[in-house]
Amino acid sequence: MLKQLYTLVVLFLLSFSLFAQDASREMVDPSELGGPILATYPINWQYTPEAVLFDNGPYFNSPGGGPGGADGSILQTTLGLNVLGFGASQAAGTRVADDFVIPAGQTWTIQDFICYAYQTGSSTTSTITAVNVRIWNGQPGVGTVIFGDDVTNRLSSTTWSNSYRYSDTNPGTTRPIMKQTVSLGVTLGEGHYWIDWQLAGSLSSGPWAPPITITGQATTGDAVQFNAGAWAPIIDNGTAQTPQGLPFILNGTMSSLQVKSLKIVQNNDQVKILNPTAYTTGTYKISFMVYIPSGKAGYFNTLQTFAGANSDWGMEVYFDANGTGRCFGGSTTPQTFSWTAGQWNMVEHVVNLTNDQSQFYFNGQLVKQWQWTLGASGTGGPNTLHAVDLFGATANDQMYVDNFKFEDITLEAVIFFDDFEAYTVGQQLACQAPTVWTTWSNAPCGPEDGMVSSDYSYVPVELTSFVANVTASGQVELNWTTATELNNLGFQVERKAVNGDYIAIGYVQGNGTTTERKEYSFTDRTVEPGKYVYRLKQMDFDGKYEYSSEIEVDVHPPLQFTLEQNYPNPFNPSTKIKFGLAENTSVKIAVYNLLGELVATLVNDQLSAGFYEVEFNATSLPSGMYIYSIETPIFKEVKKMMLMK
């Protein structure tokens, strides 16, 4: 009995010592334990939605339930939690970070970053004096800083958030949480990013960053902290030992433009020579996708001959800012059509030199047909096809072009194709007008890709390696390399059980024609334990294909517990979640919204060791961020996913 009492005294003193000395976290003072537990309240908080790009989660869980009717950010010691806040102090050299995802096809201009912090002992007048911020293209310490630094003070405002941080056993007003608005002004494309921050204040305590706080939920995220010269996961060191997330908000604007396209503005004249000496016979089709923002205009033409000011125009097409299109072909009177701003549209122009005919199609509908040798205005021209001119004619022109393709219909062959991966939306090409593309390879505005030889001499892709690796979570990663490529549309990935038939499980786009070494990868997320054989079906633009050698893979049961990132992510309306169990155990897979409310229980059963996959269908749920978790008696983990409708 005396020995047990002595142990309790030692633990009490040790916990007090940690509370007093650890600059990385502020734990509950033992003197605060033992008071009454507050009642919880329905959560009805919300943020103004107009400018919110991303919300990582709530910092309080008792609206109006705190001292004086303020909001309460209640540390739930009843769940085994022990940490009130995590150090993000400039004076102590600590930082904190959490992640966010920009979905595919989106570009975010982040104007403001909002974070939360407190200094113990402050009043409701903020004592926060500075915030510096960095953004990484990967987890801090692993990725690279692409914005910001650890010196510049970007704080634009700080104010009391009308909430207090306290434990469930001892409500108090010594930790008023401050809301910091930090100016960023950075534009980012799709990707998985981490944002880290550090604060300074006029008091000696902290500043401390409160974790995401959700009633009844001990694990809230996957944030990390920089302390003692290294980054490590943020873990509440109470009896629960659970990972924590950090509340923050990103405000700004979003653009859904395709992120890799050719941009045409005034005097940005791009001429593509279709044949050095011009075609005189045959039937050809020019096609591409065009995107013009609201209020902007665009223009292009097809040339019978290209000779500068002495060129012969076979067709001219205007996209006027009022949504009216005009196609000039064979007459000074144009054929009008309608186009829609702010979306991708398909343009197709067919020239039949053998029959002296031309047709212009827009979004699959025939707009105009005329005799090709009449030229654009009806004044006449040669029966030849030489070039295409993408031109910014006025100061209001702003046209994005992608998937530019030139086909020989007679031979049923793609002569060349380009998806303009070298260019980024919003970036004007540094070219003089006019720029002439005699071949894609010598385009002066940057490297091109996707070109298919104009001499129709197709050769197989030279595959130099094809290997497979089984991850700890039971997924199969395939990697292959090409030395050169010609007419390479892409690779169909195929799999079969050892005694089964091949099935297609994925597709990876090729690089057209290139003499540079290219690396490819594909992850098979749907495989179960067993033996499998994989192969690649390499396909040309003309429909020809060739199989790679086969590789055999043995997928074993998992050696550890795992919870994988859902796929796809973002998703609409359903996504799949894979997890691995290293032993027979009871397991629960659940999904929560950012209010901490349970929205779905996907698994709640006793399962054998192995790999599993469940589907989450969110048809009835609104767009937003959700949290999903795995719980077993010895393993817990959470991850975030985004529903985009």
Give which of 100, 248, 88 is closest to 181, Cα–Cα: 248
Rounded Cα distance between 576 and 617, Å, is: 9
Give which of 210, 213, 221, 215 is closest to 244, Cα–Cα: 221
Rounded Cα distance between 418 and 391, Å, is: 18
As given in the structure block, the two tokens for residue 338 are: 């309608």
Q: What percent of the chain has pLDDT over 90?
A: 45
Q: Which residue in this structure is represented by tokens 């996907």?
A: 602
Q: Which residue in this structure is represented by tokens 């409310």?
A: 597
Phi-psi region of 270 (alpha: psi -120 to 50; beta: other; left: phi over 0): beta
Angle at 135 between CA 134 and CA 138, to 5 degrees: 130
- Name 240's Cβ contacts closer than 8 Å, sequence gap at least 6: 79, 80, 81, 218, 219
Rounded Cα distance between 37 and 168, Å, is: 5
The tens digit of pLDDT for each residue in 336-375 reads 999 988 777 889 999 999 999 999 999 888 999 999 999 9
Q: Is the pLDDT of residue 247 over 80?
A: yes
pLDDT band at 385 (very low <50, low <70, confident <90, very high): very high
E strands along 139-175, which residues?
145-148, 155-167
Rounded Cα distance between 95 and 141, Å, is: 12
Q: Phi and psi dihedrals of 180, rounded to 5?
A: -105, 125
Give CA separation, 450 vs 1, 267, 635, in Å: 79, 26, 47
Mean pLDDT for the stretch of residues 424-433: 32
DSSP class of residue 67?
G
Rounded Cα distance between 390 and 400, Å, is: 10
Give 287-326 as a DSSP string.
EEEEE--TT-BEEEEEEEE--GGG-EEEEEEEE-TTSEEE
Q: What percent of the chain has pLDDT over 70?
A: 83
Q: Which amino acid is at 173?
A: T
As given in the structure block, the two tokens for residue 26 are: 């502020």
As given in the structure block, the two tokens for residue 376 are: 């654009």
Give 342-375 as a DSSP string.
TSEEEEEEEEETTTTEEEEEETTEEEEEEEGGGT
The tens digit of pLDDT for each residue in 286-327 reads 998 888 887 889 999 999 998 877 899 999 999 999 899 999
pLDDT band at 419 (very low <50, low <70, confident <90, very high): low
- Name 374's Cβ contacts closer than 8 Å, sequence gap at least 6: 329, 330, 331, 380, 381
The tens digit of pLDDT for each residue in 205-231 reads 999 999 999 988 888 999 999 998 999
Mean pLDDT for the stretch of residues 556-576: 86
As given in the structure block, the two tokens for residue 318 are: 């205007």
pLDDT band at 21 (very low <50, low <70, confident <90, very high): very low
Please return the burial class of 195, using the count of CB atoms within 10 Å of its CB with bins 0-12, 13-18 and 19+: buried
The tens digit of pLDDT for each residue in 136-193 reads 988 998 888 999 999 999 999 999 999 999 999 888 999 999 999 999 988 887 788 9
pTM of the model: 0.47
Rounded Cα distance between 184 and 156, Å, is: 10
Q: Is the pLDDT of residue 196 over 50?
A: yes
**H-assigned helices in 118-212:** none
Rounded Cα distance between 209 and 195, Å, is: 14
pLDDT band at 275 (very low <50, low <70, confident <90, very high): confident
- What's the pLDDT at 316? 97
pLDDT band at 479 (very low <50, low <70, confident <90, very high): very high
The full set of domains in the chain, from first to last, is 51-256 (no CATH), 261-453 (2.60.120.200), 462-555 (2.60.40.10), 562-643 (2.60.40.1930)
Rounded Cα distance between 380 and 450, Å, is: 35
Give which of 348, 230, 268, 358 is closest to 304, Cα–Cα: 358
Rounded Cα distance between 226 and 233, Å, is: 9
Average pLDDT taken over every residue of the chain: 81
